[in-house]
Amino acid sequence: MTPAAHKIEVRREQRERGAVAHVIYDQSRRLNVVGPPSLRDLADTFHTLAKDDDLRAVVFSGAGGRAFIGGADINYMAALREGEEGRAFITLIHKLCQSIRDCPVPVICRMEGYTLGAGLEVAAACDMRIAAETAFFGMPEVKVGLPSVVEAALLPRLIGWGRTSRLLLTAETIGAAKAEAWGMVEEVVSTAELDAAIERVVQAIVEAGPAAVRSQKQLMRRWERLSLDEAVQAGIDAFAQTIAGGEHIEPMTAFVQRKREKK
């Protein structure tokens, strides 16, 4: 069994210094759960966005206000019997997460209501997470006889091993205040202030150098895989490449000129 028809809305907002995409996933009658069709479509959406050279940032949200993504479709998973069926399904979740991590611009997760299981893995794959104070988070897989896998492996980097163990081994659901204290989300605000908080982050990204932001995200991804010495060398290489691109010349020259005029 697969979820009923889902919708994915992509709103591309053109600004003076580039474009911002809003990806809204809508399976709101079922807390925005994901199954094979929606996982494929969402991954395709991010692959398409990655080809937009004018894109500066992506805001990823769930429709309806009751959930970002409330997990993987339990009806579909309950029907799985063969190991390879399970492998194919969980790989689709990984491919969506990978498409987000491979997106060349920052992806900001907008979180209302529940973010559970696969939803929390998707959120962890985003570059930043901003949540409403009424949001809840959890990894309930062990309650239904499954381990938490794929991008759950990102959680220790966000919240540490002990807190990851607590979430994954007890299936505890935590509120937004605790999630912020643990480092799972970067900011918690009221629902009324959520879009304004996200806009502040988006605007800061848009005002930065586009090539520098893309280079920074790519470099941070490389840091995850490299030793400290290799990560430092990768940074030297990225800096040299950015200097050669010349994006720094205009803003730095303007900054120096403003300082001179103030003297």
Tens of pLDDT, residue by residue over 89-100, are 999 999 999 999
Q: Residue 63: is its pLDDT beyond 70?
A: yes
Rounded CA-CA distance 114/186 in Å is 17
Tens of pLDDT, residue by residue over 19-45, are 999 999 999 999 999 999 999 999 999
Q: Give all strands (DSSP E) within 88-227, no chain letters.
A: 107-111, 114-116, 128-132, 136-138, 173-175, 187-189
Residue 33 CB contacts under 8 Å (≥ 6 apart), including other chains: 3, 27, 69, 70, 71, 72, 73, 74
- Tell me the three state secondary structure of residue 109: strand
Q: What is the pLDDT of residue 254?
A: 82
| Residue spans per domain, the chain | 7-207, 210-262
Q: Two tokens at 59?
A: 């805001």
Residue 94 CB contacts under 8 Å (≥ 6 apart), including other chains: 150, 151
CA atoms within 13 A on the CB side of 109: 29
Q: What is the pLDDT of residue 3?
A: 44
Rounded CA-CA distance 160/164 in Å is 6
Tens of pLDDT, residue by residue over 131-169, are 999 999 999 999 999 999 999 999 999 999 999 999 999
Rounded CA-CA distance 15/17 in Å is 5
Q: What is the pLDDT of residue 4?
A: 53
Rounded CA-CA distance 46/107 in Å is 10
Q: What is the pLDDT of residue 1?
A: 39
Report the pLDDT averaged over residues 213-218: 97
Q: Residue 15: is its pLDDT beyond 60?
A: yes
DSSP labels, 50-76: TT-TTEEEEEEEETTSSBS---B-HHH
Q: Which of 85, 129, 91, 124 is nearest to 110 (CA)?
A: 129
Q: What is the pLDDT of residue 84?
A: 97
Are the C-beta atoms of residues 71 and 119 closer than 8 Å to each other? Answer: yes
Q: Which residues pair with 110 in a beta bridge?
A: 61, 130
CATH of 7-207, one of 3.10.300.10, 3.90.226.10, 2.60.120.10, 3.40.640.10: 3.90.226.10
The sheet carrying 55-62 orders its strands as: 7-15, 18-26, 55-62, 107-111, 128-132, 187-189
CATH of 210-262, one of 1.10.1740, 1.20.120, 1.10.10, 1.10.12: 1.10.12
Amino acid at 66: R
Name residue, tokens 């790989």.
Answer: 91
Are the C-beta atoms of residues 92 and 47 closer than 8 Å to each other? Answer: no
Q: Which of 204, 210, 32, 220 is nearest to 118 (CA)?
A: 32
